[in-house]
Structure 1
Amino acid sequence: MSIGQPVDQNGHVNIWHRRVMPTTAIAVAALMMSACAAGPVARTPVTDAPSQPASEVIVSPDPQQSAEPQTGAADVFRAWVEASRIPDVDTACAALAPDLQSRMIAEVNASGAVSVETCEQMIAAAAELYAAVGDDGAIDVAVQQETATNATLFVTYLASGDCGTVVMQRTGTEWIITDESQECAG
């Protein structure tokens, strides 16, 4: 973590400050101008750039796990990014652990860009901000480690160059993005 880097009470880098604050003025202006538009704003769908794994994927079976996952953690994360940009607030919020939802809501509110109370409001506001600055959610995902119940991904957002480590857990058949996820310090 860099000196002067905004952190929360748990020492996590404030990702909303780094990702949203530099573009807040542009986004707010674009949102205000779009409010006068005659129709809905067209959104660019999320695309995936070819990814190159940062390291070998480690997959170890869990004898306690009876149901097989529908998709791997990287696919679930890509689907989450897509849902967060559309926005499909129910799908996007369902993929976030409650502690991560709370942390992200606090970070959004601390940024001063918008004020939200729920995960659904946060996802909708973030989708509008990203659309206003032309961030389509294109990402590069490298699986650092994946087992039947845990995964660590390294993600780079192509529009901004921002990156982060995404930590996921699977209980039953669903992958959840945990509060251990952090943006790269820089």
Structure 2
Amino acid sequence: MTHRSSRVLTAIGIVALALTATTACTTGADSPEPSASVSEPTTSASPNPSRQPDSGQRATTGAAESFSAWLAASRVPEVDTACAGLAPQLVQRMIAELNANAGVSVSTCEEMIAASAQLYKAAGQDASVDIAVQHETAADATLFVTYGASGDCGTVVMHRAGTAWIITEQSEECAR
């Protein structure tokens, strides 16, 4: 039983790192600090209609709010919603990392999100995060995210095509 518990905790840690890869970047002495530390999400609505995506359609949420909603969906899990918020290249990277490091075998985004949510629940980790907006335009954003439960951190790089923000494969976890 102790060996099994140890294996589950190890798997949870690895999954946390794999999912953090969706929200992180390598940091170091030459890494830029966030341009603004934001405790609450900011919106990206612009008073200039020409900067809005999709020929003037107005976005209803900013990148930080969209990321928070994605994180909540990934923990429930609402697999369709969570998967819709990830770029295909990022999904493939996360599946490969999860399969290689967590002792589970998944082949789809939906399986990955469901397995990760189960591991987070087993570890009792909530989805609390501190989000600092480093950069945000109508179409692109970079967020620095720190997870409250684990202290893991990283940058989330997002792109908006239309009205939906997508977490891209450029997102990476902080260096250890």
TM-score with structure 2 setting the length: 0.73
> Which residue of 2 is the match for residue 18 of structure 1?
none
Q: For 2:74 and 2:60, locate their aligned partners in 1 and report how far apart those are by CA, in whole Å.
A: 20
> Which residue of 2 is the match for residue 140 of structure 1?
130
Greater RCO (Cα-Cα under 8 Å, separation 6 or more): 2
> Which residue of 2 is the match for residue 87 of structure 1?
77
> Which residue of 1 is the match for residue 8 of structure 2?
25
Q: Secondary structure at the match of 1:63?
A: helix
> Which residue of 2 is the match for residue 41 of structure 1?
none
1:1-186 paired onto structure 2 within 5 Å: 24-26=7-9, 54-56=34-36, 63=50, 65=53, 66-186=56-176
What whole-Å deviation, never above 9, does each CA across 1:126-180 have from its counterpart, x for those lacking one? 0000111111111111110000000000000111100010000000111000000
Change (3 A) 1:24 1:69: farther
Change (3 A) 1:70 1:28: same
Amino-acid identity (%): 58
Q: For 2:149 and 2:77, locate their aligned partners in 1 and report how far apart those are by CA, in whole Å.
A: 18
Q: For 2:80 and 2:134, locate their aligned partners in 1 and report how far apart those are by CA, in whole Å.
A: 28
Q: Secondary structure at the match of 1:169?
A: strand
Which 4+ residue blocks in structure 1 deviate beyond 4 angstroms? Answer: 59-62
Change (3 A) 1:110 1:72: same
What amino acid sits opposite 1:55 in the alignment?
S
| Residue 27 of structure 1: how far off its partner (Å) | 6.7
| Residue 24 of structure 1: how far off its partner (Å) | 4.6
Q: For 1:109 and 1:97, locate their aligned partners in 2 and report how far apart those are by CA, in whole Å.
A: 18
What CA RMSD, in Å, does the superposition of the two structures yield over aligned residues?
Answer: 2.4
TM-score with structure 1 setting the length: 0.69
What whole-Å deviation, never above 9, does each CA across 1:2-35 have from its counterpart, x for those lacking one? xxxxxxxxxxxxxxxxxxxxx7533779xxxxxx
Change (3 A) 1:62 1:179: farther
What amino acid sits opposite 1:180 in the alignment?
Q
Q: For 2:102 and 2:120, locate their aligned partners in 1 and report how far apart those are by CA, in whole Å.
A: 16
| Gapped regions of structure 1 (runs ≥ 5) | 1-22, 30-52
Change (3 A) 1:24 1:140: farther
What amino acid sits opposite 2:9 in the alignment?
I
| Gapped regions of structure 2 (runs ≥ 5) | 1-5, 13-32, 37-41
Q: For 2:98 and 2:154, locate their aligned partners in 1 and report how far apart those are by CA, in whole Å.
A: 17
Answer whether contact 2:64 2:131 (CA < 8 A) is retained: yes
What amino acid sits opposite 1:91 in the alignment?
T
Q: For 1:90 and 1:84, locate their aligned partners in 2 and report how far apart those are by CA, in whole Å.
A: 9
Q: For 2:93 and 2:50, locate their aligned partners in 1 and report how far apart those are by CA, in whole Å.
A: 33
